[in-house]
């Protein structure tokens, strides 16, 4: 039975909600009894999500996740208009293929600021209200790329690994506060973010399918939501290998 089973509509806040997984998750939650607020930097994209959802179920608030004050203000506005935030999904993310031979600090820091710091800012913004209510659910959308360092993805893998570790560590404290924590680790999902990839993407999942899996996992209160299982299990196995085996196998598998 869903931990959110109730006659009262619950409020969810999704960052990176204008496209990809965030957009589809907003629509998925909206059709299953949630009041959803989507955030992102582009108001036009957010408005399109609102229009695609059942009338009155999704609203939009433009917000840059790298701006801590803006995130705090956004959370406060949501609480004033919708009541307590029951579920916060910090999903905003960027990815750029990265060749370490031409190491670019700006790309590394941009990725960390959006993916990791953006989630940190989100936690900061919703934690006071959830702590006071001794209730709430915080979900970080990481990636299977965070299980180990991946070729051509150094900044992305590093940011997602940091998100996984952060969520694991916070769970011990948040459990005592009555706050549920979830880390979402998708594989390849068909989104605007992955369209730029010029390499094969095994077990590619459509964004609406990903959204359904995430929604079901969130409502079940799972700590980890990972998919597709075949890719997740392969990479979880690779995570256990010693470096002497991991690097040769990864080179063979990716040609790197």
Average pLDDT of the chain? 92
Higher pLDDT, 3 or 81: 81
Name the band, by pLDDT with cuts 50, 70 and 90, for residue 255.
Answer: confident
Q: Domain for residue 34, yes or no? A: yes
Is pLDDT of 80 > 60? yes
Summarize pLDDT for 199-237 with one digit per residue, the tens.
556 667 889 999 999 999 999 999 999 999 989 999 999
Instruction: State how many domains the chain has.
Output: 1
Query: Could you tell me how many helices (H) and strands (E) the chain has, helices first?
Result: 9, 9
Domain region containing 142: 10-254
Q: Is the peptide bond before 228 cis (omega within 30 degrees of 0)?
A: yes
Phi-psi region of 237 (alpha: psi -120 to 50; beta: other; left: phi over 0): alpha
156 catalytic residue (yes or no)? yes
Q: Is 137 helix (H, G, I), strand (E, B) or coil?
A: strand
Strands 205-206 and 189-190: what pairing? parallel
DSSP letter assigned to residue 9: P
Tell me the longest C-alpha to C-alpha distance in the chain. Answer: 56
> Pick from 235, 209, 237, 233: which is nearest to 153 by CA?
235
Per the domain annotation, does 4 fall within a domain?
no
242 HSE (CA, 13 A, CB side): 1
Instruction: Look at residue 5 and tell me whether its pLDDT is greater than 60.
Output: no
The string of pLDDT tens digits covering residues 150-206 is: 998 999 999 999 999 999 999 999 999 999 999 999 987 776 665 565 555 666 788
Whether 1 maps to a domain, the answer reads no
Q: What is the pLDDT of residues 96-132, one digit of tens each?
A: 889 999 999 999 999 999 999 999 999 999 999 999 9
> What would the pLDDT profile of 131-154 be if each residue is shown by its tens digit?
999 999 999 999 999 999 999 899
Q: Which residue has the higher pLDDT, 16 or 96?
A: 16
Q: What CATH number is associated with residue 90?
A: 3.40.50.720
Is the residue at 5 inside a domain? no
The mean per-residue pLDDT over the stretch 76-86 comes to 97
Catalytic residue selected from 4, 116, 147, 156: 156
Is the pLDDT assigned to residue 7 strictly greater than 50?
no
Strands 10-15 and 87-90: parallel
């Amino acid at each position: 039975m869903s931990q959110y089973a109730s006659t009262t509509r619950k409020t969810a806040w999704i960052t990176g909600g204008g496209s990809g997984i965030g957009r589809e998750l907003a629509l998925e939650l909206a059709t299953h009894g949630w009041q959803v607020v989507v955030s992102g930097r582009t108001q036009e994209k957010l408005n399109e999500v609102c229009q695609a959802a059942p009338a009155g179920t999704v609203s939009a608030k433009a917000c840059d996740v790298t701006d801590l004050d803006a995130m705090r203000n956004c959370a406060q506005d949501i609480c004033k208009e919708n009541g307590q935030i029951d579920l916060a999904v910090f999903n905003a993310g960027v990815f750029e293929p990265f060749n370490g031979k031409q190491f670019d600090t700006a790309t590394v820091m941009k990725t960390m600021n959006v993916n990791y710091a953006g989630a940190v800012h989100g936690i900061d913004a919703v934690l006071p209200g959830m702590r006071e209510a001794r209730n709430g659910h915080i979900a970080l959308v990481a990636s299977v790329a965070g299980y180990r360092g991946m070729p051509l993805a150094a900044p992305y893998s590093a940011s997602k690994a940091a998100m996984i570790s952060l969520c694991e560590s916070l769970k011990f404290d948040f459990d005592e506060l009555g706050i549920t924590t979830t880390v979402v680790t998708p594989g390849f999902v068909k989104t605007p973010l992955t369209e730029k990839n010029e390499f094969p993407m095994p077990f590619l999942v459509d964004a609406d399918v990903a959204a359904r899996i995430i929604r079901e996992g969130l409502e079940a209160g799972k700590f980890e939501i990972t998919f597709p299982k075949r890719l997740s299990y392969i990479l979880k196995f690779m995570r256990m290998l010693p470096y002497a085996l991991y690097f040769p196998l990864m080179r063979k598998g990716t040609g790197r």
